[in-house]
A = this chain, B = another copy of it.
Amino acid sequence: MTNLSSRSSKELLMLKEQLAAQYKAYQAQRLNLNMARGKPGKEQLDLSIPMLTCVDSAETCKAEDGTDCRNYGGLDGLPEAKRLFAEILDVQPENILVGGNSSLNMMYDTVARAMLFGVNGSLPWCKLDKIKFLCPVPGYDRHFAVCESLGIEMIPVEMQENGPDMAAVKHLVESDPAVKGIWCVPKYSNPEGKTYSDAVVDAFSSLQPAAVDFRIFWDNAYVIHHIRDMHDHLKNILDACAAHNHPDMVYMFASTSKITFPGAGVAVLASSVANITEAKQHMSAQTIGPDKLNQLRHLRFFKDLTGLEAHMQKHQAILAPKFSAVLEILQKELGGLGIANWTEPNGGYFISFNAPDNCASRIVELCREAGVVTTPAGATFPYHKDPRDRNIRIAPTMPSLDELRTAISLFALCVKLAAVEKLLAREPSLV
């Protein structure tokens, strides 16, 4: 296909008419599809059904050391759960705190504790006039919502091919003591599916922050969530920071939300022993402990890392065709038109799509009016403000393959329609 921008107004008008007719035909189908969030589909959830019943008696409620997991106790999780997560995250069990069903909750609480108590003896952040976090963009809207809720100013930092713009990160972190944190999804990032290179991890670990209580919030949400047989590799940042004499600079998070059940998984914090000890000290006033029975369910279901990896292969087998379908349709419908680009990740839950500038909102609106809900335009930026209004997060996991083909075909149509509308309005700066 020829680049849209090279076409004449007459050609564009004809194309617009064709596209509008196609769009009308979609509307007539009265679709009701949702690609808004990174939710696993039903087929994925069914993979973990046996987990529901593998703890089914007084005997199977017992932990390795004989602890009756039905009763109170165990602030930081079962030792065997720590061991499994330590293997997954390539750390030691003493670096692990196993929690409840939500890693977002652990991240929020970690920031909230810093607000209330400070970090490792520093002044409570709530006593300071201004707290700032760096936010690589495009990024994860729920990270941004934590900051917004707690009144933390967000500073966007561009994502590059191998991670955030580390020159910008270094400058901001090392010059401004109000910069206390950065949100990262370092592997199969949300939404781009990019994995930070070793050089980027090294640049993080060698930061010399202006604030002694600067912390990296390393949301390793997709640590074993591969879509292709080609796996990305992420360098271990805990080790790297320890090697650079910053053992306490990182809080790492993960969960089984997209491994077993999003609503009933197990979340985990991994950090230096000092940080884990500090978190436990504050948490001992907050809770007696997490749901140990649900930890046991996971342990009995997976048995070990090998079992867990075999399980992730089944997810991959379900997800790979969905991602392929999206990429195929985008290429077929939009390839060569010169109006858009998108990522082709090896793992994670999303494809990041860049439309022509000032078109994302229009595309999302067109999709919605034809019955397909996408992630809102702007969601991948702090304060919901994409300065170029071009980025849209595509979440292909929830719909069935058939539904997804329909939804993405409509999406591609809406992209073309919005692009033609814009060209006809004679606005410059196509991507």
Task: Decide yes or no: A264 and B285 within 8 Å by CB, A46-B58, A52-B55, A124-B126 being known contacts.
Answer: no
A335→B73 CA distance, assembly (Å):
36
Interface string of A129-155 (1 = CB under 8 A from B): 000000000000010011011100000
| Chain B residues with CB below 8 A from A55, complex form | 52
| Chain B residues with CB below 8 A from A149, complex form | 282, 284-286
A349→B266 CA distance, assembly (Å):
30
Task: Decide yes or no: A70 and B45 within 8 Å by CB, A101-B291, A124-B126, A146-B285 being known contacts.
Answer: yes
Copies in the complex: 2
- Closest B residue by C-beta to A284: B145
| Chain B residues with CB below 8 A from A306, complex form | none
- Closest B residue by C-beta to A50: B56
A291 contacts B262, CB within 8 Å? no
Task: Decide yes or no: A68 and B42 within 8 Å by CB, A105-B287, A291-B263, A293-B264 being known contacts.
Answer: yes
Check A257 for interface membership: any CB of B closer than 8 A. yes
A57 contacts B49, CB within 8 Å? yes
Check A338 for interface membership: any CB of B closer than 8 A. no
| Chain B residues with CB below 8 A from A291, complex form | 100-101, 263-264, 291, 294
Interface string of A256-288 (1 = CB under 8 A from B): 010001111000000000000000001011111
The CB with the most chain B CB atoms within 10 A, among A49, A71, A146, is that of: A71
A146→B285 CA distance, assembly (Å):
5
| Chain B residues with CB below 8 A from A112, complex form | 112, 116, 286
Task: Decide yes or no: A288 and B70 within 8 Å by CB, A126-B126, A261-B293 being known contacts.
Answer: no
B292 contacts A263, CB within 8 Å? yes
Task: Decide yes or no: A263 and B289 within 8 Å by CB, A39-B71, A52-B55, A52-B56 being known contacts.
Answer: yes
The CB with the most chain B CB atoms within 10 A, among A45, A58, A73, A288, is that of: A288
A70 contacts B108, CB within 8 Å? no
A145→B112 CA distance, assembly (Å):
18
A263 contacts B69, CB within 8 Å? yes
A264 contacts B287, CB within 8 Å? no
Check A37 for interface membership: any CB of B closer than 8 A. yes
Check A24 for interface membership: any CB of B closer than 8 A. no
Q: Which residue numbers of A lie inside 8 Å of B, CB to CB?
A: 37, 39-40, 42, 45-46, 48-49, 52-53, 55-58, 61, 68-74, 100-102, 104-105, 108-109, 112, 115-116, 124, 126-127, 142, 145-146, 148-150, 257, 261-264, 282, 284-294
